[in-house]
């Protein structure tokens, strides 16, 4: 349970930092800086721990490369959604449903069994995504977010006029936030992996899956975001569904 909580805090904090990074420096620079930081940390850990990399087979290496490429696509789309005004709590909740998709693929492709409790969790998560993604009636469309001055809280927003100094300052602060996002993301990943190694996969997955609650609160308090009742219900269903999937 402790590893799951650490993972949830790490990924929740990473989503908050990623929001500031994407809105200040743009998607590409934010992803490059955050993932570059993560790579450096993991390489340093590899040098220190000296894991037996020679035991990795060719198929496993190809699988790791494929996973890395798909992960990169996921990070780019996640940061892009945040950059262009997506509510951090909603975006985080929707992206967290990768656990449900993974579970379904494991059942379909690998022939694994999913209990009735877990199946109900998948249904809840899917319904939650539909509710969270729907725009509420009467809600104004959020304008695209670009790199520059702040709009609400500490996140930057669109601006038709900006000097080079402001752009440079925004990019620098964005890279700092991206570095923080990379560090906290690695903390979450390591904690989740450690929980799995200790034989507590289901418990770690269930506890860590509540991480969208952290950026949801941050979005309301720090960024001044507002979700409609249907969207808030959708986020709640997503989190509840993920917990059920992890326990199922």
Residue 226: inside a domain: yes
Tokens coding 215: 């950026």
Residue 142: inside a domain: no
Residue 143: inside a domain: no
Single out the residue of 165, 173, 164, 22 nearest to residue 92, CA to CA. 22
* Distance separating alpha carbons of residues 205 and 82, to the nearest angstrom: 24
Residue 183: inside a domain: yes
pLDDT (tens digit per residue) in 204-216: 777 787 788 888 8
| Residue 147: HSE in the Cβ half-sphere, 13 Å Cα cutoff | 23
Contact between 124 and 100 (Cβ < 8 Å) = no
> In which region does residue 215 sit, left (phi positive, over 0), alpha (psi from -120 to 50) or beta (all else)?
alpha
pLDDT (tens digit per residue) in 84-137: 877 888 888 888 777 677 777 777 877 777 778 878 887 888 788 777 766 544
pLDDT at 156 over 50: no
pLDDT category at 13 given cuts 50, 70, 90 is very high
| Residue 203: HSE in the Cβ half-sphere, 13 Å Cα cutoff | 11
Residue 107: inside a domain: yes
Considering the chain, what is the average pLDDT of its residues?
Answer: 78
> Residue 155 forms beta bridges with which residues?
152
Residue 229: inside a domain: yes
150 or 194: which leads in pLDDT: 194
pLDDT of residue 118: 78
| Three-state SS at 152 | strand
Contact between 93 and 238 (Cβ < 8 Å) = yes
Residue 144: inside a domain: no
Residue 140: inside a domain: no
pLDDT of residue 143: 41
- Tell me which residue range forms the domain holding 72: 2-49+58-135+150-247
pLDDT category at 181 given cuts 50, 70, 90 is very high
| Residue 119: HSE in the Cβ half-sphere, 13 Å Cα cutoff | 7
Single out the residue of 141, 136, 132 nearest to residue 231, CA to CA. 132
Find the length of the chain. Answer: 248
Neighbours of 73 (CB within 10 A): 9
Count of structural domains, the chain? 1
Q: What is the DSSP string of 38-90?
A: HHHHHHHHHHHH---GGG--HHHHHHHHHHHHHHHHHHHHHHHHHHTT--HHH
pLDDT of residue 169: 64
pTM: predicted TM-score of the whole model, two decimal places: 0.72
* Distance separating alpha carbons of residues 105 and 87, to the nearest angstrom: 28
């Amino acid at each position: 349970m402790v590893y799951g909580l650490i993972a949830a805090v790490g990924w929740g904090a990473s989503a908050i930092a990623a929001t500031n990074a994407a809105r200040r420096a743009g998607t590409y620079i934010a992803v490059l800086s955050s993932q570059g930081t993560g790579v450096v940390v993991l390489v340093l850990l590899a040098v220190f721990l000296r894991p037996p990399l020679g035991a990795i087979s060719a198929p496993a290496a190809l699988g790791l490369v494929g996973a890395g490429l798909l992960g990169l696509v996921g990070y780019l789309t996640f940061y892009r959604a945040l950059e262009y005004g997506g509510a951090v709590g909603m975006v985080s909740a929707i992206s967290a449903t990768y656990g449900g998709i993974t579970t379904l693929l494991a059942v379909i492709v690998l022939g694994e069994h999913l209990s009735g409790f877990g199946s109900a969790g998948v249904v809840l998560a899917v319904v939650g995504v539909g509710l969270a993604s729907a725009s509420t009636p009467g809600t104004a469309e959020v304008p695209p977010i670009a790199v520059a001055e702040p709009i609400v809280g500490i996140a930057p927003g669109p601006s038709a006029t900006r000097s080079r100094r402001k752009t440079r300052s925004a990019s620098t602060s964005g890279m700092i936030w991206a570095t923080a996002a990379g560090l906290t993301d690695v903390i979450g990943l390591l904690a989740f992996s450690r929980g799995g190694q200790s034989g507590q996969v289901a418990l770690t997955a269930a506890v860590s899956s509540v991480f969208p609650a952290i950026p949801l609160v941050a979005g309301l308090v720090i960024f001044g975001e507002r979700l409609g009742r249907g969207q808030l219900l959708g986020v709640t269903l997503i989190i509840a569904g993920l917990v059920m999937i992890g326990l199922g």
